[in-house]
Structure 1
Amino acid sequence: MANKEIIINGTELDQMGESSYDLDQPSDGGNYDARVSELNRKTESLEREKLQMVNLNSESKERIKKLSLEIGELQNDNASKRKKLKEMEKEIEWSEEELKTLESVAKRAVELKIEVSRMQHDFVDEQRRRGKQGSK
């Protein structure tokens, strides 16, 4: 045996990938028909296995396509939600600034109300004082 032999699925192959036996010349003492039948069964089995693999491959490709579309939709939804979140954060920031402004206005309104009250009190006191001076 000058060439190394490789056995794949029960068939001996030489380094060139060719069968080491000749179908026209039975090597096992006349079991040619049995060997052909065995090879035919193996071929059919391999063809069924190939068909199953092709079907499985097609199903996998379809599933990958669906999942890729779903990922794309989720990414778009995520981008949309991030945009909405940024808008809401800006609105909150604006509301906080507005609240500070309103608090400042309310504080100033209280100060002005106190000042008006003092002025009214001073005015009433001044009126009384003038009234007392005019009666003398």
Structure 2
Amino acid sequence: MGAMERMPLMKSVVYEALRIEPPVASQYAQAKRDFVVESHDATFRIKEGEILFGFQPFATKDPRIFHRPEEFLPDRFVGENGEKLLKHVVCSNGSETERLAMVVLDGGVGWGGVGWGGGGER
């Protein structure tokens, strides 16, 4: 992990690949407690027991968050402003997913299936 921290562009490339093509595009869960979710323009009160559904591309390609969201920008997550964007990428927002991303970073990067700029095949 230490080596990856010294390679901010490589780390950014991995997060950008995960943003463009999330490994799990949708997920669902049952709320374990009451809580509030705030978006750009609405607030939702979630009750314990309710079923929640999330579709990652709605978040990871939101033009209100990501400049040129449909483009692969290798240095999107480099620097102070780039680091702030990480909270909007699901693989970066918690210990469970942080470990997954770090395994990807430490274990090597396989780009098969990730296409950007029109040259990649799926």
Asked which structure has the greater CA Rg, the reply is: 1
TM-score interval for Structure 1 and Structure 2 normalised by the shorter chain: under 0.3
TM-score, normalised relative to structure 1: 0.20
